[in-house]
A and B are shown apart, each in its own frame.
Chain A
Amino acid sequence: MTTNPMHQFEVYRIGPEIILGSLNLSFTNASLFMVISATLILILLFIGTKKNLLVPSKMQLISEMSYTFVAKMINDTAGSNAKPFFPFIFTIFMFVLFCNMVGMLPYSFTVTSHIIVTFVLAGIVFVGVTVIGFIKHGIKYLNLFVPKGVPVVLLPLIVIIEIISYLSRPISLSVRLFANMMAGHTMLKVFGGFVISLGILGGWLPLSFSIALTGLEVLVAFLQAYVFAILTCIYLNDALNLHH
């Protein structure tokens, strides 16, 4: 039996075809798993905050831990100025985390393994942070591209370099998440294919690799959500507190 390791990333339509002008708005398996992730987050937080026990239940503990985790992350990296943006960063963190984790379940679909999804998330962060920077500092926000203590001769080059590194933010943000998720899931599938093709005699070695890789992938799923959120905080910090 040969299976295509890329087959798992195929997007297909579920239900009727909805075409609005030149847009295809049909409900796909990707949309389904986004809805599932969002629903799981809502259920977790709803049950977790329903009864405010002094000694928390497991659900309450999880939701409170996720709250303090994100709150601490924002405080450490972006300072107390960024407190109003807590809901945004919490939403991004939980959404990416749940999409990654739901993708780890067998027969599920990993939404974050598609670059368009991660690129839209990163694009929202990029545009949002730029707009916030301009609202907060006005035209002075462009000082971000002019570092302090640089000789005048080098200034044009440095400005171009800074602009390139600023423009590379959304791309590095999206490519990192997408590439990690896709590579990990492809690798799992390839090792799974080896188990079947090597049979009962030789299949044990790739099977043990598969198990180890599953553990690694759970770590990566969490880590990528964390990195995505923390980089959002860092970019927000640049926009809120210029030159710090």
Chain B
Amino acid sequence: MKNLKEISTRLEIAKKKIKDRHVENDGSNVSSLGVGLKISTELVVSVVVGATIGFILDSWFDTKPVLIICFFVIGAIAGIWNVIKVAKKMQNKIKG
């Protein structure tokens, strides 16, 4: 019985060590570079997509250039919003 208990505590410690190491690795590996690439392109592309939607809607409703301006701004907001969301997610990950 005592033997089993000892094994289980040792297992727990070993698992914790693995977990700690995992968190340490998380900071500076390839995936951080991936996240950087992801948000930088999304920031730019949202503006382009917003402007394109505005352009299409403008030619549908014949309201040049009102909607393209509106959707350009909304696209920019969407890009920044995305960056904030990713940053918040990263912060939550670090916290716990």
Contact = CB atoms under 8 A, between A and B. Distances in A.
A227 B38 contact: yes
B42 A157 contact: no
Interface string A191-235: 000000000000000000000000000000001001100110000
Interface stretch (A7-15, A35-43, A171-179): A171-179
Interface of B: 30-31, 33-34, 37-38, 41-42, 44-46, 48-50, 53, 71, 74-75, 77-79, 81-82
21 contacts: A160-B74, A164-B49, A164-B71, A164-B75, A164-B78, A165-B46, A165-B78, A165-B79, A168-B46, A168-B48, A168-B49, A171-B45, A171-B48, A175-B41, A176-B37, A176-B38, A176-B41, A226-B31, A226-B34, A230-B31, A230-B34
A161 interface: yes
Most buried by A among B75, B78, B82: B78
Given A165-B82, A175-B41, A226-B30, 13 more contacts: A157-B74, A164-B46, A164-B50, A164-B78, A167-B53, A168-B42, A168-B75, A171-B49, A180-B37, A223-B33, A223-B37, A226-B31, A226-B34
Contacts of B81: 161, 165
Secondary structure at the B interface, as helix, strand, loop or mixed, is: helix
A215 to B, nearest CB: 15
A171 B33 CA distance: 20
A231 B42 CA distance: 12
A226 B48 CA distance: 25
Given A164-B53, A165-B81, A168-B78, A227 B34 contact: yes
Nearest to A168: B49
> Main secondary structure on chain A at its contact with chain B?
helix
Nearest to B36: A227
Contacts of A176: 37-38, 41
A172 B83 CA distance: 14
B34 A172 contact: no
Contacts of A160: 74
Contacts of A171: 45, 48-49
A171 B45 CA distance: 7
Contacts of A167: 49, 53
Contacts of A165: 42, 46, 78-79, 81-82
A171 B42 CA distance: 9
Contact of A223 (B34, B42, B46): B34
Given A164-B50, A167-B53, A227 B45 contact: no
A161 B53 CA distance: 12
A180 B40 CA distance: 13
Interface string A116-156: 00000000000000000000000000000000000000000
Contacts of A168: 42, 45-46, 48-49, 75, 78
Contact of A161 (B34, B44, B74): B74
